[in-house]
A = this chain, B = another copy of it.
């Protein structure tokens, strides 16, 4: 039988997943700067050198956590979409609200998954994990792509708007005045198929 209480064994049994979960916990409590190989190892109850057998250095651990983060990110957008009318415009605003909900719920995890400067494409696992999240955006934007236009243009407009807004949120700029979510969502009404005659 497989031991369902893997306590005192020399082998942890599921260390990789435990380290990823430890990292997510630390992100929630201490934020991105607190994410450390040694802290993750300590929280998982192993020595500080143990993670090296499961990840390629601290960047490997961060990538593994980001993969899980992308999955939750995608789930947040899909959840919001499922609770909204099926019209293209309503769906677009729904994934935007899901986007914001995820960013506000797990800001440090959000920071992490978008912290890989230029390394995207250099890591297969990360690219594989981010693709489904991007696909949600792509599918939702598709109805707004004018004929003859590269879909990437519309997708980039939407994503840039959301991404930039979240980072302005995190900067603390709206702590006192209140965050203008509605203003951002309103601009989504003007994305894509031209509203002018």
- B residues in contact with A118, CB < 8 Å: 170-172, 175
Among the 9-residue stretches A4-12, A13-21, A80-88, A176-184, the one with 4 or more Cβ atoms under 8 Å from chain B is A176-184
Contact of A160 among B114, B117, B152, B165 (CB under 8 A): B165
Quick one: given A156-B183, A161-B161, A184-B160, are A117 and B170 in contact (CB under 8 Å)? yes
The reply to whether B157 and A120 contact each other, CB–CB distance below 8 Å, is: no
Give the interface size class of chain A.
35 or more
Min CB–CB distance A29 → chain B (angstroms): 15
Q: Which of A76-126 contact B (CB under 8 A)?
A: 111, 114, 116-121
Interface 1/0 per residue, A168-197 and B, CB below 8 Å: 101111010100101110110011000110
Q: Which of B120, B152, B153, B161 contacts A164 (CB 8 A)?
A: B161
